[in-house]
C-alpha cells in the first residue's frame, strides 16, 4: 500500500508487530540475504533492513477528519512489515542494494558477529541454500518459517517483484525434499541472527590502520618542515614493513624451485612449484592478496569445515596463477591452508579456503582448480605422472586416461551425483606417482565439494596392517557398494575415507556369505565418522548395502579404535527374520538382551528375531572389556 494511503493505525499496528515478532522477521531476512555477504554482514544487514521495514510515518489527518479506526485484523500490521522485509532482502540479490539502507545500521566496530555453528545437517542445508537464488530462499522461508500456504506465499513473492514465483516455489520444494527436517533446521541456531557469537576482528590489521592514520596526520602536520629541509642531506628512511604488510607484497611470495619436489623428503604442498601463465603478473597477485586480507563487499567466501579465513600472517607460497575457463585463478598456500582466489570477468571475486595441514604424497596429489555445472578440473602435483577417471559403481570397467595441460591442469571431470539425484555413477580420479619419488603406485581420490579431493583407501582384514590403496579388485568391489554413502560427507572437511572389511559371516538357511564393512571418514581437523554397513550377497556389483550403525566424533574403525560391532535384522528367502551381529577379530563373544536373549562365543551371531524386536547387542573382548554395537 502506498505511504499516503496508510493510516496512523496501520503504522502503529505495523510497529507493534515488528517489535513483537522481531526475531522471526530477522531470521527470515537472514535466510533471504545472499550468502556471499558473509555471516557477519548478513547478521547486521538482516537487523538493519527489518528495522527499516516500518513505514517512515503516517499521513497527516485532514482538518476535521475523525481518527481512523483500528482494524479488526491484528495480523495486518505483521503482513505489512513482513512484505517490506522480503522486498528489501530480495533487493540485495545481484548487488541491487537499495541506497536507502546505506549506511548499515546497526554498526559494529571491532567485533565479528555470527550465529552459533550447527552440525552437518545444518551445514548441508546452508550449502544447498547458497546454490539457489534469493527468490527460492524467500519461497522456502515463507513456507517453512512463516507457515504460509502456496497461494499466500505466491502473493507475497509477486508483490515483492519476483518474476516467476511458481518456479521459485518449485525450486524451494526441491531443496526441502533433498534435506530432511528443513523446518527444524531453519529454526535452529545456525540460522538465528538474534543469538550470535562475537569474536574480535583482525587485531593486528586494526592496530595498523590506527597507526597508519596517526602517521598520516603527523606527516601532514610536519609537511612544511619537510619542504623546507635542505637538499643534499641523508636520504629519509621509511618505517620497516610489518609482517602483515610483507604478506601483501607479491614480490615476497614464496616460490618453490621446479625440481625441488624430487629432491626433498617433505612431499606435500610446500614442494609445489608455481605454475600458470600469470604466475609473474604482480597486479593479479596483488589483487588476490588484498582481497584475502580485506575482502571487499560482495566477495563470496567459502570455507571448508573448521577452516580459518584469517588474513595471511606471512608471505604465502604461490602454487598457481592463470586463466581457467574464462576465470582468472590464483592459488596460494600458507602452510596450513589452501586459498583459491577466483576473479570472473565482470563479477565479484570468490575466496575458497581449505585446511590441508599434515598433507602427504596422496592428499597433496591435486587440488580443485576450477569447478562448473557438473564438472571440475584438478591441478595435479608435480609428482603425479598419470591421471585417469573411473566409475566406482562399475568396478570391472577400466579407467580412461585424461589429457593434462602443460601447467598440470586436467580436462573436465564429471562431478559425483548431488543429493536428491539417483546415484547411478560415482566418478573417481586415479593418480599414479612418478618413479622419481615412489614405486609408481596408484591411488584414488574423489570430490566432496572442497578444494582438496578426498583420498579413498581400503583395508581387507584386521591383520593387513594399515589401510592400502583402493585400486585392487577387492577394494573396487567394496567401494562399488558403498560409494553412494559418500554424499552425506559433502562439505564436511573430509581428508580420507577408508573401507574396512572387518568381518565375514555365513548367513542362515544357506543364504551365502555377507561382508561387514566399517566406512571410516577422517577430517583434516581430526574427528571422524564411522558407519557400519552390512553387505549381503548382491545381484549386481553396485547393489548398496544396509547401514547397521553409525557414530560421529569417534575413533572407531581407526588405528586408535580397532574394535567394532554391528547388528542388523535380515530376512531369509523363506521369509523368516534373523538378528545378525558381527564384530572385529578381537571380539570373543556376543550377547543379546531385550526382546531377544541369546549369546555366542564367537565374533558372529545369528538368531531368529522379528524385524521390530528391540535388542541390545554387546560384545566381549578378549581382555574382558565390553563393546556396544553401533546404533543406526
pLDDT tens-digit series, residues 403-426: 999 999 999 999 999 888 899 999
Same domain, 22 and 104: yes
Same domain, 176 and 308: no
| pLDDT at 257 > cutoff 90 | yes
Domain presence at residue 143:
yes
What's the CA gap between 304 and 525, in Å, rounded? 11
Choose the weakest-confidence range: 86-100, 205-219, 247-261, 544-558.
205-219
Which residue is associated with the grid cell 577422517? Answer: 522
Same domain, 17 and 137: yes
Residue 522 phi, psi dihedral angles, 5° rounding? -105, 135
| pLDDT at 66 > cutoff 50 | no
Domain presence at residue 21:
yes
- Indicate the pairing of strand 384-391 with strand 327-333: unpaired
HSE-up of residue 164 (Cα within 13 Å, Cβ side): 6
What's the CA gap between 628 and 561, in Å, rounded? 13
| pLDDT at 526 > cutoff 90 | no
Same domain, 19 and 162: yes
| pLDDT at 234 > cutoff 60 | no
Residue 593 phi, psi dihedral angles, 5° rounding? -130, 170
Domain end marker among 323, 357, 391 = 357
C-alpha cell at 527: 574427528
C-alpha cell at 624: 574382558
pLDDT band of 57, cuts 50, 70, 90: very low
Domain presence at residue 564:
no
Which residue from 348, 490, 523 is spatially nearest to 418, judged by alpha carbons?
490
Same domain, 179 and 254: no
Same domain, 90 and 175: yes
Same domain, 140 and 84: yes
Q: For 347-401, write each residue's pLDDT tens digit.
A: 889 999 999 998 999 999 999 999 999 999 999 999 999 999 999 999 999 999 9
Q: What is the rounded average pLDDT of the residues 83-96?
A: 80
C-alpha cell at 6: 496508510
* Residue 514 Cα distances to 298, 458, 503, 535, 536, angstroms: 53, 17, 9, 6, 4
Same domain, 176 and 320: no
Same domain, 156 and 266: no
Domain end marker among 300, 330, 357 = 357
Q: What is the rounded average pLDDT of the residues 240-263?
A: 86
Domain presence at residue 427:
no
| pLDDT at 252 > cutoff 90 | yes
Q: What is the pLDDT of residue 118?
A: 66
Of 227 and 198, which is predicted with more confidence?
A: 198
Q: What is the pLDDT of residue 245?
A: 81
pLDDT band of 190, cuts 50, 70, 90: confident
What is the rounded average pLDDT for all residues in the chain?
Answer: 85
Domain presence at residue 106:
yes
Q: For residues 355-393, b (16+ Cβ closer than 10 Å) or e, as one string?
A: bbeebebbbbbbbbbbbeeeebbbbbbbbbebbbbbbbb
Q: What is the rounded average pLDDT of the residues 313-329?
A: 95
Q: What is the pLDDT of residue 567?
A: 97
Domain presence at residue 125:
yes
Same domain, 348 and 283: yes
Q: What is the pLDDT of residue 216?
A: 45
Q: What is the rounded average pLDDT of the residues 513-517?
A: 96
Domain presence at residue 368:
no
Q: What is the rounded average pLDDT of the residues 587-599?
A: 95
Q: Contact 286/253 with Cβ under 8 angstroms? A: no
Q: What is the rounded average pLDDT of the residues 169-187?
A: 84
Same domain, 177 and 260: no
Same domain, 174 and 43: yes
Instruction: Give Rg (Cα) of the chain.
Output: 30
Angle (deg, nearest 10), helices 8-20 and 22-32: 80
Domain presence at residue 533:
no
Q: What is the rounded average pLDDT of the residues 121-142?
A: 85
User: How many independent structural domains does the chain possess?
Assistant: 2
Q: Domain residues for 264? A: 247-357
Q: What is the pLDDT of residue 441?
A: 86
Domain end marker among 357, 382, 414 = 357
Amino acid at each position: 500500500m502506498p505511504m499516503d494511503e496508510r493510516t496512523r493505525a496501520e503504522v502503529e499496528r505495523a510497529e507493534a508487530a515488528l517489535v513483537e515478532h522481531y526475531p522471526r522477521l530477522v531470521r527470515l531476512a537472514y535466510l533471504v540475504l545472499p550468502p556471499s555477504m558473509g555471516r557477519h554482514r548478513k547478521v547486521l544487514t538482516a537487523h538493519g533492513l527489518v528495522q527499516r521495514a516500518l513505514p517512515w510515518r503516517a499521513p497527516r489527518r485532514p482538518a476535521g477528519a475523525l481518527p481512523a479506526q483500528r482494524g479488526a485484523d491484528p495480523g495486518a500490521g505483521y503482513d505489512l512489515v513482513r512484505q517490506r522485509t522480503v522486498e528489501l532482502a530480495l533487493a540485495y540479490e545481484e548487488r541491487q542494494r537499495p541506497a536507502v539502507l546505506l549506511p548499515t545500521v546497526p554498526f559494529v566496530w571491532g567485533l565479528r558477529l555470527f550465529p552459533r555453528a550447527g552440525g552437518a545437517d545444518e551445514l548441508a542445508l546452508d550449502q544447498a541454500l547458497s546454490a539457489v537464488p534469493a527468490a527460492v530462499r524467500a519461497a522456502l522461508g515463507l513456507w517453512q518459517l512463516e507457515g504460509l500456504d502456496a497461494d499466500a506465499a505466491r502473493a507475497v513473492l509477486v508483490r515483492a517483484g519476483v518474476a516467476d514465483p511458481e518456479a521459485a516455489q518449485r525450486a524451494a520444494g526441491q531443496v526441502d525434499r533433498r534435506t530432511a527436517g528443513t523446518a527444524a533446521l531453519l529454526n535452529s541456531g545456525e540460522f538465528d541472527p538474534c543469538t550470535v557469537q562475537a569474536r574480535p576482528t583482525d587485531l593486528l590489521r586494526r592496530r595498523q590502520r590506527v597507526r597508519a592514520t596517526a602517521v598520516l596526520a603527523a606527516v601532514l602536520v610536519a609537511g612544511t618542515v619537510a619542504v623546507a629541509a635542505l637538499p643534499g642531506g641523508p636520504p629519509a628512511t621509511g618505517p620497516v614493513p610489518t609482517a602483515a604488510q610483507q604478506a601483501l607484497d607479491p614480490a615476497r611470495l614464496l616460490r618453490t624451485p621446479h625440481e625441488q619436489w624430487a629432491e626433498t623428503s617433505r612431499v606435500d604442498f610446500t614442494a609445489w612449484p608455481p605454475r600458470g601463465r600469470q604466475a609473474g603478473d604482480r597486479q593479479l597477485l596483488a589483487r588476490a592478496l588484498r582481497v584475502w586480507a580485506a575482502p571487499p563487499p560482495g566477495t563470496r567466501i567459502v570455507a571448508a569445515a573448521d577452516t580459518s579465513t584469517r588474513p595471511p600472517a606471512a608471505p604465502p607460497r604461490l602454487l598457481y596463477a592463470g586463466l581457467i575457463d574464462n576465470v582468472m585463478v590464483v592459488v596460494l598456500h600458507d602452510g596450513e591452508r589452501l586459498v583459491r582466489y577466483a576473479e570472473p570477468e565482470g563479477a565479484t571475486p570468490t575466496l575458497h579456503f581449505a585446511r590441508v595441514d599434515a598433507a602427504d604424497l596422496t592428499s597433496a596429489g591435486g587440488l580443485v582448480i576450477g569447478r562448473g555445472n557438473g564438472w571440475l578440473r584438478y591441478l595435479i602435483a608435480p609428482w603425479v605422472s598419470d591421471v585417469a577417471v573411473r566409475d566406482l559403481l562399475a568396478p570391472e570397467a577400466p579407467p580412461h586416461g585424461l589429457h593434462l595441460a602443460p601447467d598440470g591442469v586436467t580436462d573436465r571431470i564429471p562431478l559425483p551425483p548431488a543429493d536428491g539425484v539417483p546415484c547411478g555413477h560415482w566418478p573417481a580420479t586415479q593418480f599414479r606417482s612418478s618413479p622419481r619419488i615412489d614405486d609408481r603406485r596408484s591411488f584414488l581420490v574423489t570430490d566432496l565439494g572442497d578444494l582438496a579431493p578426498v583420498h579413498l583407501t581400503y583395508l581387507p582384514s584386521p591383520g593387513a596392517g594399515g589401510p592400502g590403496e583402493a585400486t585392487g579388485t577387492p577394494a573396487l568391489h567394496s567401494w562399488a557398494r558403498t560409494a553412494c554413502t559418500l554424499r552425506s560427507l559433502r562439505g564436511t572437511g573430509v581428508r580420507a575415507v577408508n573401507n574396512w572389511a572387518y568381518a565375514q559371516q555365513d548367513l542362515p538357511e544357506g543364504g551365502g556369505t555377507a561382508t561387514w564393512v566399517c566406512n571410516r571418514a577422517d577430517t583434516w581437523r581430526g574427528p571422524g565418522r564411522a558407519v557400519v554397513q552390512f553387505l549381503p550377497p548382491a545381484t549386481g556389483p553396485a547393489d548398496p548395502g544396509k547401514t547397521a550403525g553409525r557414530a560421529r566424533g569417534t575413533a572407531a574403525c581407526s588405528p586408535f579404535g580397532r574394535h567394532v560391532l554391528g547388528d542388523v535384522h535380515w530376512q531369509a528367502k523363506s521369509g523368516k527374520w534373523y538378528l545378525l551381529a558381527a564384530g572385529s577379530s578381537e571380539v570373543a563373544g556376543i550377547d543379546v538382551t531385550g526382546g531377544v536373549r541369546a549369546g555366542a562365543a564367537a565374533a558372529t551371531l545369528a538368531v531368529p528375531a522379528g524385524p521390530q524386536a528391540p535388542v541390545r547387542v554387546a560384545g566381549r573382548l578378549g581382555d574382558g572389556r565390553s563393546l556396544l554395537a553401533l546404533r543406526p
